[in-house]
Structure 1
């Protein structure tokens, strides 16, 4: 009989150090198979359910996005400012205009005979803008309400220093130096920052040096050291024949709700009318948002019989409730005013669940009676309008505290948390079971290794006895 040598690996204490070595069995593979089987039985169903819930939460996020866009569009239609807007157009020369909702529709003739101007004063020229001009006090009065006082000292009494000191004072006058190209080219120029006669300047100087002959201006004086190169002037205009005087070329409230910007002498015609384009744009935005929502719903609840695939929210009661209510809103009759249905405005619902617009019908409705369109969408004190009804429904769905969708997704999040706890429990059970299997397999490995060792010993002894005989 051939003698065999055992390949069982044991430690110095006689225990198995590598599972399966003692028995020759692939116990590691068997343990892995048992663990995979346990995970498939206990963990995979939980993971599958978690995936389903996460997919549903994502679908609700998509639905929420579409509903939020629709809510934004419908809120514009509930805003009275959408229907109160006015627009203007100007032909001719002399003025442009901006209007608010307070403007009154009409046609106005604006004749500008004089633009408002800011006063400019200039000194005589000096040869060097860095030459000291004396010490004293330079005072500039702007209108009746503002006065700037500049102390001229050795640190600032050049033409450049005086310019900088005036500008640093931060008043309603600016100073600059102009070079006129003569033998004494440098002239200090003072310009009021505001137009109109109320911003005219008076300049006085008390002190010594050349500054005394350079500075000084009073409109009531016949002899002035400074020259008025541009006289302060008020804007002069007429609006439909009525005279208007303005300190500025921006004329506010000469016409209610209208700001005129005067640009030149001339005549222009201003037309103020209802801004129907903003109403039409708001209705178009609503239709686009609704159609985007309808397409989203169609995708989330679709069923493909050929592929046997279904949208994530097919059969979902919350989604059905939302879609049913919003569809009903489209058909609801508004019981007051000229218009009762969307279709009377040229907006109709197609068989595919989307809205379409007849541009001619919509423009006709909006331009002929914008107040009736406003009443249809906003309603009155006694009756809700189309937009206010739908806005209320959307608030019910999208409220961040207790809205229908938040409640639904909160419930799904709770399910995820419960599944996570269950997953951890099942994982702990599997780990405990695998520890028990490992102990049992180790014991089996040790036992088989011992039996193999005993068998080898006995075989050796029997072989020896046979040899002796």
Structure 2
């Protein structure tokens, strides 16, 4: 960051005669040179000149922000230049070309030099041009706000987010079970059997964390038991949903299998087509794709690996 000394707002800027009229200077930033010019008119005050200089810098689109900081009590102003991005590669310099506006206003004075953030993690030193650090495959974000030593970072799971995800999963699961049961005349009981089997693989663990199966195959969540499990036995929750034969894993696998199989695989024999049977079937006598796919659970993992 470059900051000029304060100048009185109400006195004339006593630049050398070559500064009268059009003055030019270069700004070097990010490996590029920006040619900048502005006009100094007879009678301009320091505030006017500094403001025009700041506007000229900002108009170039250079990765540097210029503004005039004014002390209304003292009646003085100074030009403040700040790089838009952190790190040594974003340092900048200014050089007079015509006139001495940069030299006279000391706009090239460096009050805070560009520097990279440095930190040590588990005894290993690192540097970063950004004050935002991503760790553990971007699953952990650190925002460096200032110098500190001996910091200890403790990462805990977001149990509320996990609880919300489980409840959303149960809602989607129940929608599919209900849809299948309500359309049993069109959909093979094989589909409902597959869904119920997904639960059976982890039935005891699911019950232990508060997720039980109703007689109709839908699931119910005991939020008190689930909250306790999330706080005291998170490993069991993770295994139950995303481990081998976890409910989310098997349900996702089966949903993918259903969505990629011919629809006739899960259709009952075609009834005699009439106005009663047309909606769930398309004109070719197959189960309506939109009706079934709209409630299929998406395949994929339920949990990311916990940090």
TM-score, normalising length from structure 1? Answer: 0.43
1:200 and 2:86 matched: no
Contact kept? 1:120, 1:192, Cα under 8 Å: no
- Does residue 1:248 correspond to 2:113, yes or no? no
Indicate the larger mover: 263-272 or 361-370. 361-370
SS at match of 1:177: strand
| Cα contact 2:201–2:245 (8 A) shared by 1 | yes
Corresponding position of 1:239: 121
Pick one of 374, 382, 386 that aligns with 2:243.
Answer: 374
Which residue matches 1:340? 201
TM-score, normalised by the number of residues in structure 2: 0.62
d(CA) in 2 for partners of 1:204, 1:264? 31
Give the Cα–Cα distance (whole angstroms) in 2 for the partners of residues 125 and 138 of structure 1. 20
Q: Which residue of 1 aligns with 2:295?
A: none
What is the correspondence of 1:175-186 to structure 2 with a 5 Å cutoff? Answer: 175-181=66-72, 185-186=76-77
SS of 1:229 mapped into structure 2: coil
Unaligned runs of 5+ in 1: 1-118, 218-226, 301-312, 417-469
| Distance of 2:49 and 2:11 partners within structure 1 | 6
| Aligned residue runs from structure 1 range 308-323, under 5 A | 317-318=185-186, 321-322=187-188
Return the offset for 1:261.
Answer: 0.8
Displacement after TM superposition at 1:166 (Å)? 0.5
Is residue 136 from structure 1 mapped to residue 12 from structure 2 by the alignment? no
Structure 2, gaps ≥5 residues long: 280-307
Instruction: Map residues 312-461 of structure 1 onto 2, 5 A cutoff.
Output: 317-318=185-186, 321-322=187-188, 324-332=189-197, 340-346=201-207, 347-357=211-221, 359=225, 367-368=235-236, 370=238, 373-377=242-246, 385-393=250-258, 412=275
Q: How big is the alpha-carbon RMSD for the aligned residues of Structure 1 and Structure 2?
A: 4.6
Shift of 1:138: 1.1
- Kept in 1, the 8 Å contact 2:229–2:237? The answer is no
Map 1:25-104 onto structure 2 (within 5 A): none
Partner of 1:147: 33
Which of the pair has the greater relative contact order for Cα pairs under 8 Å at 6+ separation? 1
1:287 aligns with 2:170: yes
Structure 1 pair 168/128, CA: closer, same or farther in 2 (3 Å)? farther
In the alignment, the residues of structure 2 paired with residue 291 and residue 333 of structure 1 have an alpha-carbon distance, to the nearest angstrom, of: 13
On the 8 A contact 1:376/1:386 being kept in 2, the answer is no
CA distance in 2, matches of 1:174, 1:250: 21
Deviations 1:36-70 (A, max 9, x none): xxxxxxxxxxxxxxxxxxxxxxxxxxxxxxxxxxx
